[in-house]
A and B are shown apart, each in its own frame.
Chain A
Amino acid sequence: MSSKEFHPRPPQPEGIEIPAPTSSPFTCAFGLTLVAAGLVTQWVVTIIGFMLLIIGAIGWFREVHPDDQEEIARIQRGPLPITPRTSKVKRLMGQERHRQRIPAMIHPYSAGVWGGIIGGVVMAIVATIGSLIEHGSLWYACNLLSATILIGVESQTVEQLSQFSTTSFVVAMIIQSLMSVLVGLIYGVTLPMIPRFPLLFAAVFVPLVWSGLTWATISVINPLLQDNIDWLWFIGAQITYGIVTGWWIINTEKIGTMQNWSYLERVGIESPGIPEQGESDE
C-alpha cells in the first residue's frame, strides 16, 4: 500500500458541477404548509396552498427532467497542503507505536483472586478480634454480616448476636468469600490503571469511600443494623483488607496484554511461519 494518502484524480477543467439553485422545494413546502394551515383558518388558504404546491412540484420536476439543472462552481483557493508533522508524537509508556492501549502491563487475574482470598481471611480475623474485644464474643461480627441477607438477625439483642449460629456462620462465610474474591478481582484489574500510589488507592481510598457509602445508606437499607455496627472496627477491617489484598496484587509479577498479538496467536495456534508472540507488525 502506498503511503501517499490523497491520489488526486484529474481535476475538471473549468470548474465543478453543482446543482443549480432552485426555489421549487421552498414553494412546495410553503404550499403544503398552507394546505394544512387552511384547515384551521380559511379554506381559501388551502386552495392557494394547493396551487403553490402544484407550481412547486412542476418546477421541481422540470429541474430534474430530462437532465439535472447544473451550475458550474468556480474553483477557489484550495486548502493549504497538509504537511507531515516534524515533531515526534509522544508515545504512551515508551512504546514504539501510537496505537498503544494502556495499561500495557497487567496483573494476572489469579493475582486478584488470591489477593482477595488472603485479604478476606485477614479481614475476618481482624473483625473477630474486634468482636472479642468489644463484646467478648467470637461470633458478633459474623452474625452482623449474615444480617445483610438473613431476616430477623438485626433485631436480636447483643446477647443473641454473641451466640454461635450455624446458619449465620454459613451465610457469613459465603458472603465474605464471594465479596473478597470479587473485590480482589476488581482490584487486580484496576490497580494497574492507577498512575501513582496504587497501594494508597487500595488501602485507604476505596475502604474509606466504601465505609462512607455504607454509613450513609445503612439507615435506609437496614435501620436496625445501624445501631449494632462498631464503625471503628468496621473501617479497620476494610482497611486491613485493602492493605493485604492491594499489597499482594502489587507484588505479583506483571504480564503484557495480548493487544499486539495476532488473532492466530490469541487463539493459541502455533505453526511455522506465524511470527512469535508480540513480534507481529502488520
Chain B
Amino acid sequence: MSTMDQKNQGLQSHAPGATFATRLHEWIATSDHKKLGVMYVTAGLIFFLIGGFEASMMRWQLSWPGLNVVGPEEFNRLFTMHGTTMVFLVGMPILLGVANYFVPLMIGARDLAFPRLNAFGFWLFLFGGLLLYYSYFGAQGLYGMGSSPDVGWFAYAPLTEKTFSRGHSTDYWILGIGISGFGSIATGINLIVTILCRRCPGMSLMKMPLFVWLMFIDAILIMIAMPPLTAAQVMLLFDRWLGAQFFDTQDGGSAVLWQNLFWFFGHPEVYILILPAFAYVSEIIPVFSRKVIFGYPLMVAATIAIGFISLGVWVHHMFALGLSPMVNAIFMGSTMLIAVPTGMKMFNWIATLYGGRILLHTPMLFSLGFLTQFLLGGLTGVMLAVVPFDWQVSDSYFVVGHFHYVLFGGLVFSIFAAIYYWLPKVSGRMLDEKIGKWHFWLLFIGFNLTFGPMHVSGMLGMPRRIYTYQADRGWELWNLLSSIGVLFQIAAILFFTYNVLNSLFRGKKAGDDPWDAWTLEWATTSPPPEYNFKEIPVVHSRRPLWDEKHPEDPDWKYE
C-alpha cells in the first residue's frame, strides 16, 4: 500500500513498532546527512530558545533604570552566554545542518563525501555545547559555586587570565567552544570535498544552485577562520595553566595579540554566519518571484569577493584601540570595500523581484524582511567603518543595534524563511500559512521595536554590557521600547513553535514539490529516501526541474 510505504520513508525509516531504544540507537548511529541535518537544526533551535531566554532576562533587567532582576555578576554571565550561544550553538549548527541536508540533495548526490566524519562533527558540536552549559553546575566561581563564563563572547585578554578570572568558568568557555570548533572544521572539510567531488553528471561548477556556491565559500571561510581561534584558545589555556604569558600583560604578554587573533577569526565568522542567509534567500526569492535569479555569474563573483575581502577587515573591531592612523585608514578602506559586492547582491535580489509575479507566502515574507533589515544593518556597518564615527559609538548600544540587524534581522529571519520553505521537504508536511504570517508580523514588529531604539540609546551614549543605569540619562524611553519589543518576539516564537509541532503531526501533506520549484531537492520524495535518488540525475542547466516542466523552452538554451 502506498500509505504504508510513505510512512516508512526517511525520518520514519525504522520498522513499525520499534522500541524507544532501537529508535534512539538509530539516531545515534546514523551517518545519514539528512538525519544529521535534522539533529543539527533541532539542537540549534533548542539553543536558540535558551539564548533567547538569556536575552529576555537582560532586557527585563534593563527595561527601567535601577532594577535588580539579576545582579551584576549574573548579568555578565548572561551576555557572555547569550553571545556565545547565539554565534556558536545556534548560528553555526543551523547553517551546518541546513547545508548538510540540502547540499547533497541539490547536487544530486547520495550523501556527503565522508558520512562518518559528518556524524563525528555533529556530536562534537553537541557535546561542546553541553560542556559549555555544564559550567553552570561544574565551574568553580570565586565562592566555590558553579557558574558560567562571564568574560564576554570575545573573551578579551587580560580579563581571561588567571589573575582576573579565577576558577574554571573561562576554561569551560575555551574547551566547550574549542571542541565544537573542531566539529565545524570537520564539517567544513566535508562540505568542500562533497561539493568538489560529488556533483551529479552535467552539474559543472557554474550550474550549481547559488545555495551550493554560497555554502562552498562558507566552508572555505570556516576552514580558514576557525583554526586561528582554536590556536588562540590553546594559547590561552597555556597561559592559564602552564604559566605561559602570551596574553598576560603583567608579564610582558600582549592583549592586542588576542584581539588580533580573535577578530581574525571573528570577522570572517560573521560572514560565515551571513553567507548561509544569502544562500537561503537566493533560492527562495526566485521561486516566489517566478523568475530566474538575476545575474547568476555576478552573484558567484560577489560571493567569492566577499569571502576574500572578509579575511582582510578584522581591525575594524579594534579602531578604538589606538592603532596608527595608517592602519585605521587601511582597514576603514577594506571594510567599506566589502559593501560593494554585498551591494551587488542586494541589487541582484531586487532585480530578481522586479517584474516578477510575487507570491507573498511565508518564506517570501521572511526573505523580504531579510532584505530590508539586512540593508539597514549593512548601512550602520558602513557608518561604523568610518573611524571617527566609530570612536564615538564603539562599545555602545549603536553597535549592538548594528549587529542585531545583520544577525537577527538578517540571519535569523532567513533561517525562518528556510524553515518555512524546506521543512515540507524534510517532514513531508506543510507549515500553516496563517500562523506563519502571525509569526512573521509579530517578529517583524518585535524585532524592530527592540533593536531600532538601540541605535538611539547608543548615540545618546549608553555603553553596552552595563547591568543598569541611572534615571537622568535620557535612556529610559529607548530601553523601555526595546524591552517591550521582546514581548512581541516571545509571542512570535510561540506561534512558530506551535506551527512546527502542529505541522509535524497534523500538517497538510506537502507532496514532492509544493512550491513548483526548480532545484533537484524537489525531484525526490518528501521526505527523501535514505539514498536520496534512485537514479542519479543528470542535469543540463541551473534549473533542472524547469527544463523538465518546460521542455518547449528549457533553460540550457540560455546558459
How many interface contacts (CB-CB < 8 Å) are there between A and B? 155
| Cα distance, A79 to B520, chains bound together (Å) | 12
Q: Of A32, A64, A76, A99, which one neighbours B292 at CB under 8 angstroms?
A: A99
A36 pairs with B6, CB closer than 8 A: no
Cβ-based interface call for A125 (8 A): no
Contacts of A16 in B (CB 8 A): 110, 530-531, 534
A39 pairs with B525, CB closer than 8 A: no
Interface string of B30-54 (1 = CB under 8 A from A): 1110000000000000000000000
Contacts of A24 in B (CB 8 A): 116
Contacts of A83 in B (CB 8 A): 549
| Cα distance, A84 to B171, chains bound together (Å) | 60
Cβ-based interface call for B168 (8 A): yes
Interface string of A73-110 (1 = CB under 8 A from B): 10111111011110001101000011101100000000
Cβ-based interface call for A60 (8 A): yes
Cβ-based interface call for B544 (8 A): yes
B124 pairs with A80, CB closer than 8 A: no
Cβ-based interface call for B312 (8 A): no
Contacts of B117 in A (CB 8 A): 25
Q: Of A18, A32, A40, which one neighbours B138 at CB under 8 angstroms?
A: A40
Given contacts A22-B31, A40-B139, A92-B355, contact A76 B9 (CB under 8 A): yes
Cβ-based interface call for A21 (8 A): yes
A82 pairs with B530, CB closer than 8 A: no
Selecting from B248-256, B398-406, B535-543, the interface stretch reads B535-543
| Cα distance, A282 to B139, chains bound together (Å) | 67
Contacts of A33 in B (CB 8 A): 124, 127-128, 130-131, 179
Nearest A-chain residue to B135, judged by Cβ: A40
Give B528-559 interface residues, CB cut-off 8 Å to A. 529-531, 534-540, 544-545, 547-558
B550 pairs with A84, CB closer than 8 A: yes
Nearest B-chain residue to A31, judged by Cβ: B127
A5 pairs with B31, CB closer than 8 A: no
Contacts of B126 in A (CB 8 A): 29
| Cα distance, A102 to B126, chains bound together (Å) | 48
Contacts of B83 in A (CB 8 A): none
Q: Of A21, A37, A80, A102, which one neighbours B26 at CB under 8 angstroms?
A: A21
CB distance from B303 to the nearest CB of A (A): 21
Contacts of A85 in B (CB 8 A): 549-550
B120 pairs with A282, CB closer than 8 A: no
Interface of A is mostly: loop
Interface string of A110-134 (1 = CB under 8 A from B): 0000000000000000000000000
Contacts of B31 in A (CB 8 A): 19, 21-22, 25
Cβ-based interface call for B472 (8 A): no
Cβ-based interface call for B515 (8 A): no
Q: For the side of the interface on B, what is the size category?
A: 35 or more
B540 pairs with A29, CB closer than 8 A: no
| Cα distance, A41 to B28, chains bound together (Å) | 26
Give B109-165 interface residues, CB cut-off 8 Å to A. 110-111, 115-117, 119-120, 123-124, 126-128, 130-131, 134, 138-139
A79 pairs with B525, CB closer than 8 A: yes
CB distance from A43 to the nearest CB of B (A): 13
B558 pairs with A23, CB closer than 8 A: no
A18 pairs with B32, CB closer than 8 A: yes
A89 pairs with B550, CB closer than 8 A: yes
Interface string of B289-307 (1 = CB under 8 A from A): 0101010000000000000
| Cα distance, A16 to B111, chains bound together (Å) | 12
Cβ-based interface call for A44 (8 A): no
Contacts of A193 in B (CB 8 A): 354
Q: Of A37, A63, A78, A84, which one neighbours B548 at CB under 8 angstroms?
A: A84
Given contacts A5-B538, A84-B549, contact A101 B294 (CB under 8 A): yes
| Cα distance, A60 to B537, chains bound together (Å) | 31
Nearest B-chain residue to A36, judged by Cβ: B175
Contacts of B555 in A (CB 8 A): 99
Cβ-based interface call for A244 (8 A): no
Cβ-based interface call for A205 (8 A): no
Q: Of B6, B178, B544, which one neighbours A77 at CB under 8 angstroms?
A: B6
Cβ-based interface call for A11 (8 A): yes
Q: Of B123, B182, B512, B538, which one neighbours A79 at CB under 8 angstroms?
A: B512
Q: Of B2, B131, B547, which one neighbours A37 at CB under 8 angstroms?
A: B131
CB distance from B372 to the nearest CB of A (A): 17
Nearest B-chain residue to A96, judged by Cβ: B553
CB distance from A69 to the nearest CB of B (A): 10
Interface string of B1-30 (1 = CB under 8 A from A): 010011011000000000000000110111
Given contacts A16-B110, A40-B139, contact A73 B530 (CB under 8 A): yes
Q: For the side of the interface on A, what is the size category?
A: 35 or more
| Cα distance, A8 to B200, chains bound together (Å) | 12
| Cα distance, A21 to B14, chains bound together (Å) | 13
A102 pairs with B110, CB closer than 8 A: no
CB distance from A203 to the nearest CB of B (A): 22
Give A4-53 interface residues, CB cut-off 8 Å to B. 5-9, 11, 16, 18-19, 21-26, 28-30, 32-33, 36-37, 39-41
Cβ-based interface call for A166 (8 A): no
| Cα distance, A7 to B225, chains bound together (Å) | 41
| Cα distance, A187 to B134, chains bound together (Å) | 61
| Cα distance, A76 to B127, chains bound together (Å) | 34
B175 pairs with A37, CB closer than 8 A: yes
Cβ-based interface call for A3 (8 A): yes
B553 pairs with A89, CB closer than 8 A: yes
B179 pairs with A36, CB closer than 8 A: yes
B531 pairs with A18, CB closer than 8 A: yes
B178 pairs with A36, CB closer than 8 A: yes
| Cα distance, A84 to B172, chains bound together (Å) | 57
A39 pairs with B557, CB closer than 8 A: no
Give B512-533 interface residues, CB cut-off 8 Å to A. 512-513, 523-525, 529-531
Given contacts A26-B29, A77-B6, contact A3 B551 (CB under 8 A): yes
Interface string of A233-273 (1 = CB under 8 A from B): 00000000000000000000000000000000000000000
Contacts of B183 in A (CB 8 A): 29
CB distance from B167 to the nearest CB of A (A): 9
Pairs A–B under 8 Å by Cβ, sample size 12: A5-B537, A5-B554, A6-B538, A19-B31, A19-B116, A21-B26, A21-B31, A22-B31, A25-B120, A26-B123, A29-B183, A36-B175
Which residues does B use to contact A, with CB under 8 Å? 2, 5-6, 8-9, 25-26, 28-32, 110-111, 115-117, 119-120, 123-124, 126-128, 130-131, 134, 138-139, 168, 171-172, 175, 178-179, 182-183, 290, 292, 294, 354-355, 357, 511-513, 523-525, 529-531, 534-540, 544-545, 547-558
The 8 closest A-B pairs by CB, nearest first: A29-B123, A33-B127, A21-B29, A25-B120, A25-B119, A16-B531, A36-B175, A82-B548
